[in-house]
Structure 1
């Protein structure tokens, strides 16, 4: 399984517009982060988790031109804002792209991208088919792959992570239910969000919370994503992380 980090930043990305923060001014390419998203490729099937506003550029620089499915963690702009840009992929594949998400997320997509769902389309626009996951008990199949939706909390908002084989992706989590932690035990690779070092809100994990969750799950390797510029420089943070915990960066490719 080939895993490509398309983006590893928070909702603003790094650099932040107008910011004079040292990380935003860094010349290190690992400190430049587009909005978080990931591609999973196996047996010539390609799955995308989240489709944010940087999607077009992410796909161009990664040289991908097809998608077999998109899995949505939740409906915030930095996770769904790129749906207009799947149009050329539709044209290449000559078929709609299935999107999987919670009913609330699908309804939000239908409202924000209402023109995609019009019966009488008057132009070449994105072509998607939607699949609600609320009624899924434990797993569902896409292209013969067993996909496990993972229940996560983002503040007071229920969202999803996803597990495919021994790989799991979780972003924007502020708490993870014990049942989900049990679902993740024994995995080889975990991707998990970390926002910053210092606690400033009840929203996505700070470093201590992220490391605590990793200790509970005990994956073989963990890659951190959804990173704020206030977290620090990539090279400095990496030296402070425990063994087998790594800071992901845009265009990083790993195999699971």
Structure 2
């Protein structure tokens, strides 16, 4: 299983528009982050987790042309804003792309992208099929792959992470239920969000929160994503992390 980090930044990305913060001015490519998203290649199938506003550029620079499923963690703009840009992939594949998410998220997509869901389409619009996950508490199958939806919290909003075999992806978590923690035991690779070092945020983990979750799950390796420019420079922070905890960066490729 091949995993490509399409983006590893927060909702603003890095650099932030107009920011003079040193990280935003960094010349290191690892300090430049598009909105968070990941692509998983398994058994010659491509699975996308989240389709943010940078989706078009992410797919072009990573040289991907097909998608077999899109899994949505939640409905915030930095996670769904690129949905209209799946049209060329529809043309390439000549079939709908299935999207999986909570019923609340699917309903939000129908409002935000009403023209995609219109029964009277008058132009070449994105072609998708939707699958609500509210009734799949344990797992579901996509292209013969067993997918486990993971219940987590983003502030007071229930959202999803996803586990495929011994790989798990969680973003925008502010707390993780004990049942989800138990369901993550035994993963080899965990991707987990980290916003910044210390300043508390009600919607996302700080460094101590993230390290505490890692300690409970004990994966073989953890990669941090959804990173703010205030977290610091990539190369400096990575030297301060515990063993087998790494900062992900855009276009990083790992294997499970």
Asked if these proteins are the same fold (TM beyond 0.5), I'd say: yes
Cα distance in 2 for partners of 1:220, 1:34 equals 26
After the TM superposition, which residues 1-256 of structure 1 pair with which residues of structure 2 at under 5 Å, given as runs?
A: 1-256=1-256
Cα distance in 1 for partners of 2:212, 2:196 equals 14
Spell out, residue by residue over 1:13-57, the C-alpha distance to the aligned partner (whole angstroms, 9 max, x if none): 000000000000000000000000000001110000000000000
Q: Secondary structure at the match of 1:168?
A: strand
TM superposition shift of 1:103: 0.3
Q: Secondary structure at the match of 2:138?
A: coil
TM superposition shift of 1:65: 0.2
Q: Secondary structure at the match of 2:204?
A: coil
Deviates more, 1:171-180 or 1:112-121: 112-121
Spell out, residue by residue over 1:71-126, the C-alpha distance to the aligned partner (whole angstroms, 9 max, x if none): 00000000000000000000000000000000000000000000001111000010
Cα distance in 1 for partners of 2:66, 2:182 equals 33
Give the 4+ runs in structure 1 shifted more than 4 A: none
TM superposition shift of 1:137: 2.5
TM superposition shift of 1:200: 3.0
Cα distance in 2 for partners of 1:52, 1:172 equals 14
Unaligned 5+ segments in structure 2 are none
Q: Secondary structure at the match of 1:15?
A: coil
Cα distance in 2 for partners of 1:56, 1:93 equals 16
Q: Secondary structure at the match of 1:186?
A: coil
Cα distance in 1 for partners of 2:164, 2:200 equals 32
Cα distance in 1 for partners of 2:169, 2:75 equals 16
Unaligned 5+ segments in structure 1 are none
RMSD over aligned CA atoms reads: 0.5
Structure 2 length-normalised TM: 0.99
Cα distance in 2 for partners of 1:224, 1:211 equals 10
Cα distance in 2 for partners of 1:20, 1:176 equals 34
TM superposition shift of 1:201: 2.2
Q: Secondary structure at the match of 1:119?
A: coil
